Amino acid sequence: MVQGMLSSTVVGLLAATAAPWVFGSEPDPAAFREGAALWQAGKGIERTIAEDRAVLARWFDGRIRRAADVCVWVSPKMVSRRLGYLWASRRWPMEEVLRRWRRAREELDGNLAFAVRLCALPKKGWDGEDAAPGDPRRVEAVRWLLTSGPGTPERRPNPVAPPWEPAQVPRYRAARSAEWPFQTTPEPIRPSWKASFRAPGEALQIDPLAVAPAWLEVEPPAKPSLLGGSHVALFWIQVPVDGLRLHPEGFELRLIVEDRERVGAWRFSAVGAR
């Protein structure tokens, strides 16, 4: 009994000190339970990516601003949450969960992997009518790079902000410094999948994880339209961690689209905590 308790303690300590991108021998227990609890609470499987999803740009539909360009970090915790959800919803045996986890570990351990959705949608006028069609070239010429450094101080949400202003705390952003000027060289990337749709809403329903490995159990994208004016492209970015100088506070994925930066940021710890 004591030996078993000691082993559990050692495993817990190792899990707590492992880097956030390391795939261990088994799914993260807390994240796995969280995924199962989401299904038990009647939530959709898209909730399993919430903590690892970054909105890069929004599109105004004439009424509200909707998430258009989106990036999902396929992290060990995100995979654990999704497997927990699928285990609960599909009554999988634990052998199936572990088989898929081993596939994830083989393919992603030692890497940072991202699923990205970029959209080129019709612009809306003040009256809500389409003012100009989306340009499909916008989602084709894309470059990406990683940046990391000490985070800028977190800003708290404005308690008297207008109701249409996001209330969430902004995520980590790397601050430039003499010690941490780390960034990778911008690399061009081509879409893994692209299509056009008649309605912008159809494009916005495309799951960025549709280009992820099959063991994540993602529904295939909807059938595109031949004459659609709403364009969407999906990208899969995978980069080895070895050789990256990642700061303990977090990192950013930057996408350069038409000379504009789209930034997805992930914070590991509070500024100055390490």
pTM score, whole prediction: 0.82
- What amino acid is encoded at 109 in this protein? D
Q: What is the pLDDT of residues 159-176, one digit of tens each?
A: 554 444 444 444 556 666
Q: What is the pLDDT of residues 126-171, one digit of tens each?
A: 655 666 777 888 888 899 999 887 776 655 555 554 444 444 444 5
Worst-scoring range by mean pLDDT, 38-42, 223-227, 249-253?
223-227
Q: Write the DSSP assignment of 8-62 as a string of letters.
A: HHHHHHHHHHS-TT---SS--HHHHHHHHHHHHTT--GGGGGGGGEEEEEEEE-S
CB-hemisphere CA count at 13 Å for 258?
Answer: 8
Q: What is the pLDDT of residues 212-226, one digit of tens each?
A: 999 999 988 877 877
Residue boundaries of the structural domains of the chain: 21-137+190-242, 141-189+244-274
